[in-house]
Chain A
Amino acid sequence: MKYSGFSKRHNILRRQILKGFMALPAAIFLSTSCFAATPPTSEVNTTGLAITDDTVTVGILHSLTGTMAISETGAQEAEKLAIKQINDMGGILGRKIEVIQEDGASDWPTFAEKSRKLLVQDKVAAVFGAWTSASRKAVLPVFEKENGLLYYPTFYEGLEQSKNVIYTGQEATQQILDGLNWVAKEKKAKTFYLIGSDYIWPRTSMKIARKHIEKVLGGKVVGEEYKPLGDTQFGSVINKIRLKKPDVIYAAVVGGSNVAWFKQLKAAGITSKKQTLLTISVTEDEVLGIGGENLEGFYSIMKYFQSQDNENNKKFVAAFKEMWGDDSVIGDVTQAAYLGPWLWKVAVERAGSFDVDKVVAESEKGDIELTTAPEGYVKLHKNHHLWSKARVGQWKKDGQAEVVYTSELIEPDPFPAGYQ
């Protein structure tokens, strides 16, 4: 027994020595080949972010519970997919991305509190999150005070530009103007009926739409209507629309109301056979709730549709379904959320640092582009928004859209002159 014990220890010792020898050339090899990809932590992180020699921590902040969970689920799934893919490629600056996820719970003060926790306590290098304008407005002062970096995925009303936010969705003019031009040209539309839910995004969007219709297109707005959020009764509004006989119904109804609105339109006999309808608030996600049969033939204007036929998108859709199940659908915001981590990766690598100031400076050069974006191609403008194309999709019964129009690349203009 004693002998064998000695032998064992001896063996271990010998093995360690051998391992040491074997590791020697490997160590030399590693240090020469990987040095460029893995710069020391002190170099890439001068502001005390949560970065080690082989990891970097980021935050994801979306609503997993509450009303907005419906919409935000897709966004956080896409962000996790992008992060997984980046990690599979070796991470950023030789560091794997680790995620701390927080739940905004559809409650705007909670968003602010959680973002403070992510920035102050967890020291995350970037946050991917927020969805509604209200939640963005709630976290904005926190990001500005703590000098954090937020990638915000939703199409929104514009009129904002912060040093600490990169907006990966389209601002209002990128979504609205081309859609109106298209419908005026293709459908010879002259009269418009505007209807939306009663909060900042639809109201700002309709303001821009009205200006464009009246001043540029020479058309007429025959009605403008806002319904309280969550309202499910559209009978009277539908009759009003009947009375006004508009060429186009232009809709920005959101949430549960959206489903009621389209179901009741169909029930009232207003279908695409008799009426052109263009909406800025329906993506594949919403169609799940509304039902393709209620939308058939109506148009949405977005920058991305799941059915888009290009190689990037096919790969993206396949990867998304592999990770989150075959039933998943991908809407406009989900795709925009997917761009966030990739844009961050390019900016960090070009800056050679995770420091927020350096990453922002690199992003503000206005030449970061993603040729692998599912929507085709995007470029980051120095005003923190993306150049993107507007697309009109016509809904089919199966809940997918057929892209019937694609614009040129549109320059983001969050503060459009003459539209405010």
Chain B
Amino acid sequence: MGDYTSSELVSIFAMQGFAGISLFSVLLLMALGLAIIFGQMGVINMAHGEFMAVGAYTTYFMSSLTETYFPSFMPYYFIFAIVVAFFVAGVLGYLAEFALIRHLYKRPLDTLLATWGLSLIMQQSFRTLFGAREVSPTLPEWLLGSYQPTETIDIPLNGMFVLALTAIVTLGVFYLLYKSSWGLRVRATTQNRVMSGAVGINTKKVDRYTFALGCGIAGIAGAAFTTIASTGPTTGTLYIVDTFMVVVFGGAASLIGTIVSAFSIAQAQSILEFFISGSMAKVYTLFALVLILMFKPEGLFASKVRR
């Protein structure tokens, strides 16, 4: 380390810090939708990754549409695409709940198989509709490149964008779940379905919209990830393991737990990766997770529910 100036080391330190925060925001954005579906509803949604892919493909579709018909709109389409991705994935989630999931609430383990089947169906549909090759939406110029506060520091713009988006979505989810009357109904339904029904909550409707919301957020995540990674028919499978890891480690049914878990996994991963090789960093991170889960099988923040 002798031939580095101190300002260079500070820069690397700053950038590495940002890499960790950036990974945290990616993990959190991935997990938010699942935290609602798995955490609040107890549905093991194996097709969650595919709903992210729906968002990513929607963005790609919007990008080609804009490029062909409204080229002057290119710098702004991305924001618009995220909103559309939310609604497309949300509507698909709504339909999936209606056609499939609602029949399986009493058999939670069967949802695992059913949603896995759904994920395979969705993957093959992507392949048929968009082709087997990976695609990339054309990103607006303001999302490319880096922000340079000093000569030696480069902060990726797309990382900052994902960070901001994650913050907005997280706050939105918090507001919806804990401050709105709809959130109250969702939490009531989670805690005691029969009683909620008795006090006049339409629990079926609550289920459907909760599932749709979770899928919609997955769509937003998918749209955001087109800025940092690829979109292909099997893109979803890349994310699903990390997503479940974050939610399970944080403790299902706890939004705070999801945030803390995403933060600790991201920091462990990125710090380890800086000092040892990428594969081994992942091994150690997972090993630590397994150890902690052995002592706290309910996750970091277990919900205090009487069983």
Question: Hey, which bits of chain A sit against chain B, CB under 8 A?
Answer: 64-67, 69-70, 73, 198, 224-228, 230-233, 235-240, 242-243, 256, 258-260, 263-264, 266-270, 285-286, 288-291, 293
**Least Cβ–Cβ distance between B253 and chain A, in angstroms:** 27
Q: Which of A227, A240, A267 lies in contact with B146, CB distance below 8 A? A: A267
Q: Which residues of A contact B156 (CB under 8 A)?
A: 235, 264, 267-269
Q: Are B228 and A289 in contact (CB under 8 A)?
A: no
A332–B270 CA distance with the chains assembled, in angstroms: 35
How many angstroms from the CA of A50 to the CA of B269 in the assembled complex?
55
CB distance from A200 to the nearest CB of B (A): 14
* A237 & B273 in contact (Cβ 8 Å cutoff): yes
| Nearest CB in chain B: distance from A126 CB, A | 25
Interface residues on B, range: 35 or more
A67 touches B154 (CB 8 A): no
Seen from chain B, the residues whose Cβ lies within 8 Å of a Cβ on chain A are 4, 12, 15-16, 18-20, 22-23, 26, 124, 127, 131-136, 138-139, 144-146, 148, 154, 156-159, 225, 227-235, 237-238, 269-271, 273-274, 277-279, 281-282
* Residue in contact with A239 in the complex, picked from B12, B124, B230, B238, CB distance below 8 Å: B12
Inter-chain CA distance A198–B235, complex, in Å, is 18
Q: How far is the CB of B168 from chain A (nearest CB, A)?
A: 20
- Cross-chain contact A73 with B274 (CB below 8 angstroms): no
**Interfacial chain A residues near B132, Cβ < 8 Å:** 64-65, 69-70, 73
- Beyond contacts A73-B133, A236-B16, A289-B135: 10 other A-B pairs, Cβ-Cβ < 8 A, are A226-B277, A227-B279, A232-B225, A233-B23, A235-B16, A236-B19, A239-B12, A267-B157, A269-B154, A288-B133
Shortest beta-carbon distance from B25 to chain A in Å: 11
A239 proximity list for chain B (CB < 8 A): 12, 15-16, 19, 274
For the complex of A and B, list the 7 residue pairs with the smallest distance between their C-beta atoms, beginning with the closest.
A289-B134, A235-B19, A259-B230, A269-B154, A267-B156, A69-B132, A269-B146
Number of contacts between A and B (CB, 8 Å)? 141
- Give Cα A258 to B231, complex, Å: 11
B158 surroundings in chain A (CB, below 8 A)? 263-264, 267
Q: A243: which B residues are within 8 A, CB to CB?
A: 4, 12
- Chain A residue at minimum C-beta to C-beta distance from B233: A69
- Distance (whole angstroms) from the CB of B63 to the closest CB of chain A: 11
Q: In the bound complex, do residue A70 and residue B135 qualify as a contact, i.e. CB atoms below 8 Å apart?
A: no
Report whether A269 and B145 are in contact in the complex, using a CB–CB cutoff of 8 Å: yes
- Interface contact A256-B19, CB-CB below 8 Å: no
- A267 and B159 contacting across the interface, CB-CB below 8 Å: yes
Q: B186 to nearest A CB, angstroms?
A: 31
A227 and B139 CA atoms in complex are apart in Å by 26
- Distance A233 CA – B269 CA, assembled complex (angstroms): 10
User: Are A70's CB and B133's CB within 8 A?
Assistant: yes
Complex Cα–Cα for A73 and B282 (A): 32
Given contacts A73-B133, A225-B278, A237-B273, contact A260 B146 (CB under 8 A): no
